[in-house]
Chain A
Amino acid sequence: MHNEAILPSGTRSGSPPSRPIVIAAENLTKKYGDLAAVNGISFSVPAGQSFGLLGPNGAGKSTAMKMIGGVTRRTSGRLDIMGLDPDTHGPEVRAHLGVVPQQDNLDEELRVRDNLLVYGRYFGLPMSYLKPKADELLEFAQLTDKAKSKVDALSGGMKRRLTIARSLINEPRILLLDEPTTGLDPQARHILWDRLFRLKEQGVTLVLTTHYMDEAEQLCDRLIVVDKGRIMAEGSPARLIREHSTREVVELRFGSERNTTIAAELDGIGERLEVLPDRVLIYADDGESALEQVASRGLRPLTSLVRRSSLEDVFLRLTGRSLVD
Chain B
Amino acid sequence: MTDARPVPGTAALRAHSPAVSAQRARRWGAFYYAEQVLRVMKGYSWSIVMYSVGVPVAYLFAMGVGLATLVDSQGGTAFGGVSYLAFIAPALLVSAAVMTAANEFTFPVMDGFKWRRTYYGPHASPLTPGQIAAGHIMAVTLRLLLQSAIYFIAVALFGAAPAGSAWALIPLATLAGLSFGLPLMAYSAAITEDKGQFALVMRFIVMPLFLFSGTFFPLDSLPLAVRWIGWISPVWHGTELGRVLGYGYQEPPLLTLLHLAVLAGLAVLGWVLARRRFALRMGQ
Contacts and interface: CB of A to CB of B under 8 A. Distances in A.
Interface of A: 32, 69, 71-73, 82, 89-92, 94-97, 99, 101, 103, 105-110, 114, 118-119, 121-125, 129, 132-133, 136-137, 139-140, 142, 166, 168-172, 198-199, 201-202, 204
A146 to B, nearest CB: 14
Contact of B21 (A32, A95, A105, A132): A95
A298 to B, nearest CB: 53
A91 B26 contact: yes
Interface string B1-25: 1100111111101111011111111
A205 to B, nearest CB: 13
Contact of B283 (A72, A82, A170, A171): A72
B113 to A, nearest CB: 11
Contact of A107 (B19, B21, B36): B36
A171 B14 contact: yes
B32 A124 contact: yes
Contacts of A142: 1-2
B203 interface: no
Interface in B24-53: 24-26, 28-29, 32-33, 35-36, 39-40, 43
Interface stretch (B55-63, B92-100, B122-130, B160-168): B122-130
Contact of A108 (B7, B32, B33, B116): B116
A107 B125 CA distance: 14
Contacts of B39: 110, 114, 118
Nearest to B2: A139
Given A122-B25, A133-B15, 18 more contacts: A72-B284, A82-B18, A91-B29, A91-B128, A95-B18, A95-B22, A101-B120, A107-B36, A109-B40, A121-B35, A123-B24, A123-B126, A125-B16, A132-B11, A137-B8, A139-B5, A170-B15, A170-B21
10 contacts: A89-B22, A91-B127, A105-B116, A118-B39, A122-B125, A123-B125, A136-B13, A142-B1, A170-B18, A171-B14
Contacts, number: 139
A124 B7 CA distance: 23
Contacts of B20: 124
B282 interface: yes
A106 B40 CA distance: 12
Contacts of B1: 142
Interface in B128-148: 128
A123 B21 contact: yes
Nearest to A92: B22
Interface of B: 1-2, 5-11, 13-16, 18-26, 28-29, 32-33, 35-36, 39-40, 43, 116-128, 282-284
Given A94-B126, A107-B36, A168 B284 contact: no
A119 B20 CA distance: 16
A146 B278 CA distance: 33
A94 B19 contact: no
Contacts of B127: 91, 122
A105 B118 contact: yes
A202 B122 contact: no
Nearest to B284: A72
Contacts of B284: 32, 72
